[in-house]
Amino acid sequence: MTKPVLFFAHLCPDTAPFVAELSRLNVEYESVSILESMANLKRFLRLRDQHSAFDAVKANGYAGVPALVVGDDVILDTAQLAVYFSPKA
């Protein structure tokens, strides 16, 4: 399994709690700061424009970060991290 990719913006107030939850769950990931470079921003916008997980976010006028990409899945909600990464019975 490839390492999850976290798209984030350090200016977003949702980033710190999202990262804290990833840390609590011991999830290793690649960090992509969308404000660090045009290449990172374009990479994120390409994902946001093409993945249906962002439809509601865009409709409500939000940017869509932080966003954790795990394979074909995109997790946008901190509460969903524990559900997704909890041990399966």
CATH for 14? 3.40.30
Tens of pLDDT, residues 56-84: 999 999 999 999 999 999 999 999 999 99
Q: In 3-54, which ranges are continuous DSSP H helix?
A: 15-24, 38-50
Please tell me the total count of domains within the chain: 1
Number of neighbouring beta carbons within 10 Å of residue 52 = 7
Q: Which of 53, 71, 70 is nearest to 62 (CA)?
A: 53
Tens of pLDDT, residues 31-46: 999 999 999 999 999 9
CB 32 within 8 A of CB 5: yes
Q: What domain range includes position 31?
A: 5-85
| CA-to-CA separations, 19 to 5, 60, 66, 80, 89, in angstroms, rounded | 12, 23, 9, 13, 25
Tens of pLDDT, residues 9-35: 999 999 999 999 999 999 999 999 999
Contacts of 21 (CB under 8 A, 6+ apart): 78, 81, 82
